Structure 1
């Protein structure tokens, strides 16, 4: 398939990274992420999917097959894992004294202007975060996953072992976020070097879990739902509650998240040996 040829893959990746850098430059020129509507900032997630759907031609048919299997068990498992990771990070930040008071924290929610007033009060807000907020992030998560756990993973598996491809796709996904950290202070404010390394390492680990689920289930849905839950709970719960000085350690994208993700990968290796073997054999 032409879309998977090495030169074509490199072109698509270079285009994706160039688009990300250009997007971050434009946002920085406007004064940063606090000076543009949050929904505009979310466009960066959509760009990779648009590039794939525009450029890959015949791969679209293969992509459609990844949406036909709902993989309910893995969808539930990865959604719960994302929830556990965010709640663990908040708990660690609280223990370290790096959280805001619970009262009024919903006022820090980036999408608060889109919510009816009753949803901003407790406990309705928590119900919204768990039941409705992931649906708001579903489209962006889907378009991003089309690239990273769809096209890129398949292209890498075309020439590398599945195990290497799973990790490499997560590593590249993490590196794609570096311009956001360096130019826009995303996630790790005022820590462009350490933050970039931490974010890349963290997303390489979480991306490996998502890529494994896609291969194991032959479906994109588990990765999409995990991505949507991560986005919804990060923006709706972690960011409003945690203070910025907690981000490096007490963060599901920081040290805490890396440890949780690595522990999960170890459990996958220990408790899914046959599945792992079949995945390797399918590469």
Structure 2
């Protein structure tokens, strides 16, 4: 990386993280995660990486193709983009469920994959609290409907998720590629994890865990999941599949955990789900396979003879992952 790129990355990180702490400050001065403003503040915080990327691109770097530098353009060929958007929707859901299966096999996730007893218990409690009678629908049908809800929520989550992805995968990851594909994925994932500190240190995602452990686990999760999101970004040469995958991930992790947990159980998210170490095994295997098969290279455009280095977002991309 050139000295100019280092300065740009440093400024980006300072703006993104500084704004995140500023936005989250009312939670620290008030009721923390119990604040009635939590959802509003957390959503606003997700926009801070985009603000940082826009400042760096439009004020500092000012490249000739700014939309390309952010991964917003080109949105072609359409067939390839649609294919990676479909992967962005489905892959996080598959990884979330696979992580629960592995966690159950390793004894760290208390699962009920057949009776859905925990999900049924949660539904009963919610209906009882609302003063409503039990729903006369088989629990299996309710589980199927929950998957439909995850898909719908993935698209609803796309807007706030885009606020993060424009910064993390849209601009930052390609900017770090001169370090090599693997170092770029590691560094961008670590920065993404540390950016979550204002919420994680309040107990978000890892309730009951000491702050140092919660933040360490969050960084680990972001490195692992960031590798999958990074693959979608680099392979498609677009930020949109990664943004949809981020929205799908946010919808799938909590929902699947509730759907398949056993009744009267407590889930330790430092160990189970995609947030915990057991949930990282399957995505790590996927990333290893993708790296071994060269799938982090941009897909060739139609008519591309393959000569010369591929270019993504105006940054030369390694012709082989390393």
TM-score in terms of structure 1 length: 0.80
Instruction: Supply the distance in 2 between the matched residues of 1:136 and 1:25 (Cα, whole angstroms).
Output: 26
CA distance 1:273–1:43, change in 2 (3 Å): closer
Instruction: Supply the distance in 2 between the matched residues of 1:13 and 1:215 (Cα, whole angstroms).
Output: 21
Partner of 2:118: 101
Deviates more, 1:218-227 or 1:235-244: 235-244
Instruction: Supply the distance in 2 between the matched residues of 1:69 and 1:32 (Cα, whole angstroms).
Output: 45
CA shift at 1:7, angstroms? 2.2
CA shift at 1:148, angstroms? 0.3
Contact 1:134/1:232 (CA < 8 Å) preserved in 2? yes
CA shift at 1:89, angstroms? 3.8
Instruction: Supply the distance in 1 between the matched residues of 2:168 and 2:206 (Cα, whole angstroms).
Output: 22
Partner of 1:269: 291
Instruction: Work out the number of aligned pairs and report it.
Output: 271
Contact 2:173/2:188 (CA < 8 Å) preserved in 1? yes
Q: Which structure 2 residue ranges, 5 or more long, are not aligned?
A: 136-140, 299-308, 311-316
Partner of 1:65: 73
Residue 148 of structure 2 corresponds to residue 142 of structure 1:
no
CA shift at 1:17, angstroms? 0.9
Q: Deviations over 1:228-259 (max 9, x none)?
A: 11111234443676565421111211112221
Contact 2:16/2:49 (CA < 8 Å) preserved in 1? yes
**Aligned partner (choices 182, 186, 189) of residue 204 of structure 2:** 186
C-alpha RMSD over aligned residues: 3.4
- Considering only CA atoms, is the larger Rg found in Structure 1 or Structure 2? 2
**Aligned partner (choices 219, 230, 234) of residue 238 of structure 2:** 219
**Aligned partner (choices 157, 171, 174) of residue 151 of structure 1:** 171
CA shift at 1:186, angstroms? 1.0
Partner of 2:319: 281
Residue 86 of structure 2 corresponds to residue 76 of structure 1:
yes
Contact 2:206/2:214 (CA < 8 Å) preserved in 1? yes
Partner of 1:48: 49
Deviates more, 1:83-92 or 1:93-102: 93-102
Aligned pairs for 1:90-129 within 5 A? 90-91=100-101, 92=103, 96-97=109-110, 101-103=118-120, 105=122, 122=142, 125-129=145-149
Deviating runs (4+, > 6 A) in structure 1? none
More helix by share: 1
Instruction: Supply the distance in 1 between the matched residues of 2:295 and 2:12 (Cα, whole angstroms).
Output: 34
Contact 2:47/2:163 (CA < 8 Å) preserved in 1? yes
Q: Which structure 1 residue ranges, 5 or more long, are not aligned?
A: none
Aligned pairs for 1:9-48 within 5 A? 9-37=9-37, 39-40=39-40, 41-48=42-49
Instruction: Supply the distance in 2 between the matched residues of 1:240 and 1:28 (Cα, whole angstroms).
Output: 32
Name the SS for the 2:47 alignment partner: helix
Partner of 1:256: 278
Instruction: Supply the distance in 2 between the matched residues of 1:34 and 1:74 (Cα, whole angstroms).
Output: 37
Partner of 2:216: 197
TM-score in terms of structure 2 length: 0.71
